[in-house]
Structure formats: structure tokens, C-alpha cells
Structure 1
Amino acid sequence: MASSAGILVSAKSGLPVPEDTKEKKHHLPNGRFANPWPSWHDIDRVAVGKWAITGFLGNQWPKVEPGMVSVVKPQFEESRTDVKDLRATWLGHACFLVEFPGGFRALFDPVFCQRCSPVQFMGPARYTKVPCEIEDMPIVDAVIISHAHYDHLDVTSVKRIHAKFPNAHFFVPLGNHKWFKSLGIDNCTEQDWWQDTEINIEVKAKETATDGETTSSVSATISNFPCQHTAGRTLTDLNSTLWSSWGVTSGGKSVFFAGDTGYRAVPQVAEGEDDYGEKYQDLPHCPAFKQIGDLRGPFDLGMIPIGAYSPRHFMSPMHANPYDSVNIFVDTKCKKALGMHWGTWVLTNEPILEPPQKLRDALKWKGIPEVGVFDVVATGESRVFTDEA
């Protein structure tokens, strides 16, 4: 249990978990972590490195033109009491600010730097600008991190968030707390898969009639879930920290944040061949998402990755393509979803605008309406999710 400045963070028990949770199959004897499912296979990192270098030297990366991805300036509610419905704002790549009824606000995977790289003089550079700055956000209660890769965890962004919102509490997968502690950030809670935490925040609001103060509170349940990925920030710390998806429930609404994940490992197929065709229909898929949906769903909103999937035989174990994304949406029992993990940096070689186009095809393939259920929004755009929507 931890507390600071009117914030109480404590473990929560009693929520349903899979029967084999205590076996901790994703924990290795050497203290590192693994994906414990047949849907995963290890990536040939030497081959991936050669592919990346060859693509860079041969100028084979997707072509980027200004304005390919629309950017709008986000509008946030200044007061907690102004938030009546669930509201999500996409801030680029995997970053969302979610405002819950009752006033709780969670920021997911905030990366506001120019390059997602250990250094800012080289590495993938933004081709879509940030829609706002950290300092433009009025309230952040919780910051939720999926894993330690540079496009999801940025040291400068974390420092700026802590400076602007010193009481904001960070929720991270196992092994990441020491990194935050090295930055002087103690308000950080580590969680393993299927662990839950309750956060309660004391809120003081002035009463204009008496010039006095009243105290109320907002609360949320922060749930750590599995996903299929890897983690690391150096050449020597591969999988020494965990990767996670997350659920957050507050104000009678719940959201699922898939983080960064694959769904099924696909072999190299002939160009134009459908890897969801009959020949590949028995490839195993990650069972964790159906467990999440069955045990903790339905969710009012899912935030699900749709990009960085090509070449498929390299990327499929760890990155979903839109067909995988729609299956994750169905498995987790999300009522609505927004696509993420595209439109910000060139990380793989699918065309820039292909992910949202393929998403529409995948929705049609699954018999889901192409508009209004699992959508893509402009960078900085907000969507409001009501009971009627």
C-alpha cells in the first residue's frame, strides 16, 4: 500500500483470474519473462537487424508526405465535474488520455519526444507532430505504461509529467519500478499479470457561495493483464521487465488498453496469400485475450494496435495487423474500440495509410460495421462514449 498527498493506492483482491494464474508460467528461472503460449515464437533479431539496415540503406521505407495523418488540437475538460461520459483522446502512436465519468483521468503510454530512440539525434523521427504538450493537459491522475520499449516509455516525457503532475501515480509491469526510482519518482506501483490495484484520490473543490472547501474523492481499479510482446531498453536487458495490457474501471465505465501485442505467429507466405486463409486457419492464437474478455469483460472501450506489422513473418509474433486487431476486439468483448500504434513513426514497412484501410476490410471480414464500432481518429481527436452510443 502507498499513499501521498491525498492519494491512497492499495492492492485489490477478489476479481476473477484464470485457474493457472499462480503457476506464473511467464516467469523464467533466470528472473526474466516469456510469452508462455504456442502463438509465440522467438524473433530472429539478426535477420530483423539486417532487414532494417537494408531497408534504410536502400531507401525502402514507406514514403512519408506532410499531412498524411490529420492532427487536431485536443480539447480537454478543465474541471473533473464537467466529465459526464467516457471520453478518450488519441495523442499519437499508443498514447491516450482517457477521462472517466466522475473525473478520474488516465494517461496511457505517453511519448511526446521527437524520436523514439535512446538518443534524440538519431532513430525514428515523428512524421506527425504531437497535437499538444504535456503542459496543456489540466489533470492526470494515473500514468499507465505497457512496457519499456522507447516508443512507449520515454524518459523526457516521464520527467515532464512528474514535474507538471507530481501526485500522478505511475502503474507499470514488473521490473520497471527501479527505472522510475532512478528518476526520483517513488509514486509508482508494479503489477504482475492479473494483479489489481485500487487508487483513491481526495479532491478538494471550492464552494463559491461560502469560499470554503469541500472534499470528495474519485477512485479507479487498475488491472494488469497479459499480452504477447517483449521488453527491453538495451542490448543486455531483453525481457528483464514485463509487458502488459491493462484495464481501468472508474465511474461505472471500463476500458481495455492492449498496449503493444501480437496475436499469432505467421510464417512467411507467398505475396498476396492470405495468412488467415484455410491453409493457416489452425495457427495458434494468443489465448489471453479471450480470458480477459470472459473474466473481466465487457469493456466500454478498447484501445487496440493496428500498425507496425510488416513484414508479417518478422512482426506477427509481437505486432498485430488489423485482422488480428479485430480478433482481439472480439475476444476481449469490447463494445467499441479505437485504433492506435500507427501514424506517428516509421517502424515497419507497410504503407503509412494502410492500417486504417485494412482495418475496414478486417471489420467487413468479421461481419462488423465498418464505421462506428472500431474506428480510427485524427491525432488529437476525442471520442465520447455514452450508453446510447
Structure 2
Amino acid sequence: MSNIVDNAALYTVAVSEPSRAGGAPEDAKELRHHRQDGKGFRNPWDSWKDPSILRILRVILWRRLTGASPDTTPPTVPVHKPQFLTTRQTPQLRATWLGHACYLVEFPSGLRVLFDPVFTKRCSPFSWLGPSRYTEMPCEIEHIPSIDAVIISHNHYDHMSHPTILKIRELHPNASIFVPLGNRNWFTACGIHNVTELDWWEECDMRLSSVVSESDTIIARIGCLPCQHTSSRRLIDKNATLWASWSVESGGKKVWFGGDTGYRAVPELPDDVDDYGEEHNYPHCPAFKQIGDLRGPFDLGLIPIGAYNPRWFMSPMHANPFDSVNIFLDTKCKRALGMHWGTWVLTGEPVLEPPQLLRVALSRKNISEKGVFDVCDIGQSQEIVAVN
């Protein structure tokens, strides 16, 4: 276990060049997820269906006409003040949910990784308009003792926040940032240059060395992996940058971060129809099984479970809990924690439905043990005990 000190001024960081040294599918070099014109990216699977402009307008019009919105009257999701470790010493992998898709993961090696941080009231380009939190932020960036790496899944506003990134740069200037292909320029425009950009199936090594003691060194391998989603920050830049899931391995522990992803595209069906019924055998994204076979197993998966209704519209890009359990099994995660719910109203399902459906979905797969795939309160930490 590393005894490396926490003060950012007392360590140095080195990140290797990206490579495809790890396991990858045979067709990975074909870069089928790159557009043929070289201008952006795409989901190269039958499980993806791009929603038409007419369908998007239909959803927007329906919402405005009906005023339909989930009830966010408290109490909803409990929020606690996080109890971060004050040193880098921990015998177990430890994950703290900070709302939506943001987790701080503390590795036994001493590594501290922050995923998709958004510490603002709204997930929007504006401070006065856009989805507003219905649960409070559990803490501020100032309350996190150590951040060695920040990992971004994609550039949507509920996953990549300009004010948050600037605050991290101010308080943790040595933190290394890892982003999918095409996102580096956004960070350099913010004056941030310690950014590593990776394509799917690429990985790199990060070495964190104490200047006080050469024996105190933390090494991590960080991998960029596929998922099924989209990207944009403006009306004219759809899919100009890549989206990704990620793996982080350090000190013998391995974490998979699902980011934001769908699993399959479901057509419009009556509300009482189960789209996982035997008569509905829709294609699912093959990338997750490839991840499990080639990069798994993982000690912990951080997997999205919310923002899925209406199903016919959201399913290509957002998993519901039944999809999430399949992703969990495909990626060969030994344990998992849910995310991408409980923070902003982005879609139409009741705000407390995702964990309820997760229990149903786990039961269908005969997974009854508590703590295998679970949810936690915002601000709560979970120690991930080793599973054989």
C-alpha cells in the first residue's frame, strides 16, 4: 500500500502515449465508429437507431402540451455529506456517489479518480436555464482531498461541466484529465493542457511519483472503451466528438465506468408490453460482451440505470434497468453500483423508479444476493469487498 503524501505540490505525474497494447476485437483497427468523411463519429451497430428530427419534435411538443413531468416533491433520494478518506491508505476499493454520473473512486493503491464531475445547480450552458437539481449537491470540489485523474465519458452538459473543470484546475492543477477522441481542444481552450485523448480500445499508463520518497509510486492503466451514445454541446456539432466508457486498473483492482449508454433500440410499443418478451428479440450492442471478454472481469462496474422514458425515443442512447443488468453481465463486473439517476429530471419516468426496476431486473436474472448490483444514497460511500 502506498504512503504517498496528498499535497499536490509533492508529487509528479507522467502519462504514457496511447496504444492498443491491450485486448481488442479483430475489427478494432477498421475504426468503423469513425465517419467515413473523417468528420466525427457514429455507433456502428444494428442496435443503434438515430432518432429523426420529427420524432424529437414530437417528444418536445408532447411535453409542452401535457406539462408532463415527474414529481420531485421531497423526499426523493437521500443526500449525505461524503466522508472521504483523509489519507491515501484504504484496504478496499471505495466508491462515493456524488450524484448523477459522478463517482469518486479511491483505490487501495492510493489512486483517486473522479468520473464525470458536474458540480453546478443546472446541467446546461446557462446558469439560469435548463434542468435544475431536485436533490442537493452533497459537497463542493473544495471538500475532495485528492483528485489524481478526471475521466470524462462525453461532452453532454450533464457529464462535462465548464465551471466544474475550471474549479478542478484551480484546486487540483496536477490532476490528469482523460477524454474520448476530439475533446482535447475544448480543454485547451479552457487553458488546461494535461489532457490525454484516447480512441476506443486505446489505453495508457499513468505514473504518480512522490518527490519525497522514490518508493512511493502509484501506477494506473486507463483504457478508453466503446459505449452506445451521442455527443454535442451545440446544435451544429452533433457527434463531432467521441463518447466512451472507461476502465481503470490500479493496485490489482479494476473498475469499469459505463458513462452514458444505451443497449438496444426499441420501437414504439404499448405501455403494457414488455420489450424483453420472447417476441421482441431486438439487436443489442455487442461491444459490452467484447469489453467483458477482452478487458474483464472488473471488480466494480459503475453502470447507468436512469433517464429512459419514453422508451421508444431514449432506448438507443440510455439504458433502462433491464438493459443495465445485461450490460453488467456482458462486461463481467463482479459488483456494480447504479448511476445516471436521482439528480436532474431529464426524462419521463418517476424519479424513484430506476432502483425499483433494477430489483425486478436482477430477479429476472436470478441475481438475489444483496450488494451484487446495488444503488446508494447521494454522498454515500461503498467499500467493494473482493468477490471470488
Interval containing the TM-score (normalised by the shorter chain): over 0.9
Q: How does 1:13-24 map to 2 (within 5 A)?
A: 13-24=20-31
Match of 2:7 in 1: none
- Contact 1:67-1:128 at 8 Å conserved across structures: no
Match of 2:118 in 1: 111
Match of 2:51 in 1: 43
- Contact 1:204-1:215 at 8 Å conserved across structures: no
Within 2, Cα distance between the matches of 1:337 and 1:388? 12
1:99 maps to which of 65, 89, 106: 106
1:34 maps to which of 39, 42, 48: 42
Pairing 1:78–2:78 present:
no
**Shift of the alpha carbon at 1:51?**
1.6
Pairing 1:217–2:217 present:
yes
Superposed CA offset, 1:195-218 (max 9, x none): 00100011245xxxxxxx665111
Within 2, Cα distance between the matches of 1:23 and 1:156? 37
- Contact 1:298-1:332 at 8 Å conserved across structures: yes
**Shift of the alpha carbon at 1:44?**
2.1
Question: For 2:222, what is the secondary structure of its paired residue?
Answer: strand
Question: For 2:216, what is the secondary structure of its paired residue?
Answer: strand
Match of 1:208 in 2: none
Match of 1:325 in 2: 324
Pairing 1:6–2:12 present:
yes
**Shift of the alpha carbon at 1:5?**
6.4
The amino acid of 2:50's aligned partner reads D
- Contact 2:306-2:319 at 8 Å conserved across structures: yes
Match of 2:343 in 1: 344
Match of 2:228 in 1: 228
**Shift of the alpha carbon at 1:15?**
1.3
Match of 1:315 in 2: 314
The amino acid of 2:285's aligned partner reads C
The amino acid of 1:172's aligned partner reads V
Match of 1:249 in 2: 249
Match of 1:272 in 2: 272
Superposed CA offset, 1:283-330 (max 9, x none): 110000000000011000000000000000000000000000000000
Superposition misfits of 4+ residues, deviation over 4 angstroms: none
Within 1, Cα distance between the matches of 2:210 and 2:30? 40
1:54 maps to which of 58, 62, 79: 62
Question: For 1:314, what is the secondary structure of its paired residue?
Answer: helix
- Contact 2:11-2:210 at 8 Å conserved across structures: no
Deviates more, 1:55-64 or 1:353-362: 55-64
Within 2, Cα distance between the matches of 1:140 and 1:356? 29
- Contact 2:11-2:211 at 8 Å conserved across structures: no
- Contact 2:12-2:211 at 8 Å conserved across structures: no
Within 2, Cα distance between the matches of 1:230 and 1:204? 41
The amino acid of 1:321's aligned partner reads N
Q: TM-score scaled to structure 2, two decimals?
A: 0.94
2:73 maps to which of 57, 61, 65: 65
Match of 1:209 in 2: none
- Count of residues in correspondence between the two structures: 377
Structure 2 unaligned residues grouped into runs of 5+: 1-9
Structure 1 unaligned residues grouped into runs of 5+: 206-212
Q: State the superposition RMSD in angstroms.
A: 1.5
Question: For 1:356, what is the secondary structure of its paired residue?
Answer: helix
Question: For 1:66, what is the secondary structure of its paired residue?
Answer: coil
**Shift of the alpha carbon at 1:338?**
0.2
Q: 1:133 to 1:233 in 2, by over 3 A?
A: same
Pairing 1:143–2:142 present:
no
Match of 1:210 in 2: none
